[in-house]
Amino acid sequence: MYKIDYIILSVMSFFFITDIKFGGRQKDVPPIVHSARPKARLEVSDVMPHFLEVGRQLNAQNRITVSPATFADFLVVVTYCETSWRVSAESHGQNGLIQFTPETRAALDIPNLKGVPVADQVPYLVRYYMELGRKLRMVKSPSDLHAFTFSPSRAAKTDTLSRAAVQPNLDTDKDGWIVKAELAQFQNRRTSENKAVWNILQKYLP
């Protein structure tokens, strides 16, 4: 009797498992997602293809006067200075490769980008720079792009970008204001930590 019960139970188990794998119950079994482990530290070669795509899209919309490759170089410098390409970087609610403020994200319908891979941030970088309109055509150097990223409303009109209270570490002369020249100095200091980025910056210095 016990042997027959065992056989019946075994047969029922077989058809139950088969139904899950190949039949109607399959849809009730959630798929297993294997997430790729992100690199601990990104290099220029990891981000450059994505920034080149940003440049290509902006160029297609006649938003830049430099080549897509040159714009990608500029963006390499700016994003390294802002976050070292750490997608987890966040400060006072600002996140993303160029540290979008909560106000900017809300205005442009950009989600919280903390932890979002570089490739998936491309559409939001394009959206942000597209919003600058023809102002972006004034960008001729890495420090220009940084100024327009940092303070787009002021960068087109004046060398003074903001009060130092925003980022006091950039106010090297301690006069209470951040100017374009201080942003350029910051790029020099920051990129000295990464030879590949520093070499890119040097190509565009006078």
Question: Does 149 have pLDDT greater than 60?
Answer: yes
Helix %, strand %, coil % of the chain (to 5): 60, 5, 35
Q: How many separate domains does the chain show?
A: 1
We report the CATH number of the domain holding residue 99 as 1.10.530
pLDDT number for residue 112? 96
The region of weakest confidence among 3-12, 131-140, 160-169, 175-184 is 3-12
- Terminal-residue alpha carbon distance, the chain: 93
Q: Where residue 6 falls among pLDDT bands split at 50, 70, 90? A: very low
pLDDT number for residue 87? 96
Domain that holds residue 111: 44-202
Global pTM reads 0.80
Q: Are 162 and 142 in contact (CB under 8 A)?
A: no
Please give the full DSSP string across 47-93, using - where no structure is assigned.
Answer: HHHHHHHHHHHHHHTT--SS-HHHHHHHHHHHHHHHHTT-TT-EETT
In-domain check, residue 9: no
Torsion angles phi and psi, residue 6, rounded to 5: -60, -45
In-domain check, residue 108: yes
In-domain check, residue 15: no
- 42-96, pLDDT tens digit by residue? 999 999 999 999 999 999 999 999 999 999 999 999 999 999 999 999 998 999 9
Average predicted confidence (pLDDT) for the chain: 84
pLDDT number for residue 37? 52
In-domain check, residue 58: yes
Percent of all residues in the chain with a pLDDT value above 90, rounded to a whole number: 74
Question: Does 7 have pLDDT greater than 70?
Answer: no
In-domain check, residue 32: no
In-domain check, residue 175: yes
CA distance 192 to 185: 11
In-domain check, residue 24: no
In-domain check, residue 78: yes
Q: Is 198 exposed, middle or buried (0-12, 13-18, 19+ CB in 10 A)?
A: middle
pLDDT number for residue 21? 32
Q: How many beta carbons lie within 10 A of that of residue 191, not counting itself?
A: 21
Which residues partner with 67 through β-bridges? Answer: none
